[in-house]
Amino acid sequence: MIHLSVNINKIATLRNARGGNVPDVQKFAIDCERYGAQGITVHPRPDQRHITFRDVELLRPIVKTEFNIEGYPTEQFIKLVISNGADQVTLVPDKPGQLTSDHGWDIKTHLEELKRIIAIFKKAGIRTSIFVDPDPEIILLAPETGTDRIELYTESYARIYPDNREMAVEPYIRAAETAVALGIGINAGHDLSLDNLSYFAKNIPGLMEVSIGHALISEALYFGIENTIQLYNRQLKG
């Protein structure tokens, strides 16, 4: 079964726009699990413009499924992940002020840095995943980092999908086949939605988990969060 991890950053963004605690990020995470999500993802950025470091601390005791913390591995981020005992950490190559993730790691350039950081997380018993573009040559280097999984950056798939879904998915199939041959687990995320998820899930060998936030939360405005999570799970079972 492919797991659905709900990224709740947008809920924190909405709360922060007004101040106070509406909507309640912690209650929302509990409800997502209750409605069928198999994981909760958060991406605490240095400016804390959505998920805050305090949110991470409050979420850890109440998330009973997989708690996935993603972000750029500054020393502060590393300490936050380890002190809160994440089940999985997803490393992304974001700049500090970046609006959203827009590319994967150049593993060749950052190999030694990734090896050092991943070793720290593995010593703490935390599963690691690194954000990558669908490039087999990059993925071939992933085992050298020591990572458990990769997360395929799916923006180009989502962008091309409406015009040519076969062309959109083809590089991801090749990337996934490379990861499977290497024994590396496969996650995916970014711009996946109810429109394009089923086709992706059916065609990607070895896919274990998708992390979805923006589209899922936006669709929940129309369908309700309980119904939306169930709709996503149906797409994944497809």
193-to-40, 46, 170 alpha-carbon distances in Å = 17, 27, 18
Q: Give kind and range of the element (H or E) at residue 156.
A: helix 155-160
C-alpha to C-alpha distance for 171 and 177, rounded to whole angstroms: 10
3 is a catalytic site residue: no
E strands, 93-157, in order: 127-132, 149-153
Instruction: Return phi, psi of residue 48, to 5°.
Output: 55, 40
Q: Which of 3, 33, 151, 190 does the annotation list as catalytic?
A: 190
What is the full per-residue pLDDT of the chain (238 aa) written as tens digits?
999 999 999 999 999 999 999 999 999 999 999 999 999 999 999 899 999 999 999 999 999 999 999 999 999 999 999 999 999 999 999 766 555 666 789 999 999 999 999 999 999 999 999 999 999 999 999 999 999 999 999 999 999 999 999 999 999 999 999 999 999 999 999 999 999 999 999 999 999 999 999 999 999 999 999 999 999 999 999 6
pLDDT of residue 197: 98
Provide the number of structural domains found in the chain.
Answer: 1
Find all residues with CB under 8 Å of 31, minimum gap 6, and list them. 225, 226
Residues of 63-77 as b/e, b for ≥16 C-beta within 10 angstroms? Answer: bebbbbbbbbbeeeb
CATH number at residue 233: 3.20.20.70
Domain extent, residue 116, equals 3-237
Backbone angles phi, psi at 168, to 5 degrees: -65, -40
Is the sign of the CA dihedral 182, 185, 70, 228 positive or negative?
Answer: positive
CA distances, 131 to each of 5, 93, 156, 200 (Å): 15, 8, 14, 17
Rounded to whole angstroms, the Cα distance separating 177 from 213 reads 26
Q: Specify the pLDDT at position 94.
A: 72
Active site residue 110: no
Q: What is the pTM of this model?
A: 0.95
Choose the catalytic residue: 3, 33, 43, 151: 43
Active-site residue, 43 included: yes
Give the bridge partners for 212, in sequence order.
Answer: 6
Is 116 strand, coil or helix?
A: helix
The catalytic residue among 33, 66, 70, 209 is 70
Cβ contact 207:186 at 8 Å: yes
The contacts of residue 88 (CB under 8 Å, 6+ apart) are 39, 66, 67, 68, 69, 126, 127, 128, 129, 149
- In sequence order, what E strands does 145-212 have? 149-153, 185-189, 207-212
